[in-house]
Amino acid sequence: MAVAEPERELIRRISPFALPVAALAFALGALIDDANAGWSAVIGIAVVAANFIANGASTAWAARISPVILYAVGLGGFVVRLVVVAVALLLLRQLEWFSVVAFVAALVPATVALLVVEMKLLSGRMQADLWTFPAAEQGHR
């Protein structure tokens, strides 16, 4: 019986909420300021969703290889994704219609909410119990 990778399971369970949250972010941004703020908020939600999927997919891939690769992807991936978000923000600031305030106002609470949901879904499970390393298992047989 194959065990589902916890990262892919999280992606499968959480990703469907991205569109409704983006719609809510647009509505709030547009209501508080204007449609440009709404679109800036949607971009913030899209960045959070893309970051979450990239993290989950890369972690699931690394966990299939080895603990060392998992560590490298976890630490290095965080830095890479942080740089990508910073560069995206710097590039988006160049657009006349883009609202940094709306972007950050959507990005920060969405990130916190996502982390809370992830903790809730993974609570009660030991992190070590979530990953298997096929190469390590073959060496013990």
What is the value of pTM for the model shown? 0.82
| pLDDT in single tens digits along all 141 residues of the chain | 455 678 888 899 999 999 999 999 999 999 999 999 999 999 999 999 999 999 999 999 999 999 999 999 999 999 999 999 999 999 999 999 999 999 999 999 999 999 999 888 877 665 555 556 565 555 555
3-state SS of the chain is CCCCCHHHHHHHHHHHHHHHHHHHHHHHHHHHCCHHHHHHHHHHHHHHHHHHHHHHHHHHHHHCCCHHHHHHHHHHHHHHHHHHHHHHHHHHCCCCCCCHHHHHHHHHHHHHHHHHHHHHHHCCCCHHHHCCCHHHHHHCC
Report domain extents, the chain. Answer: 16-114
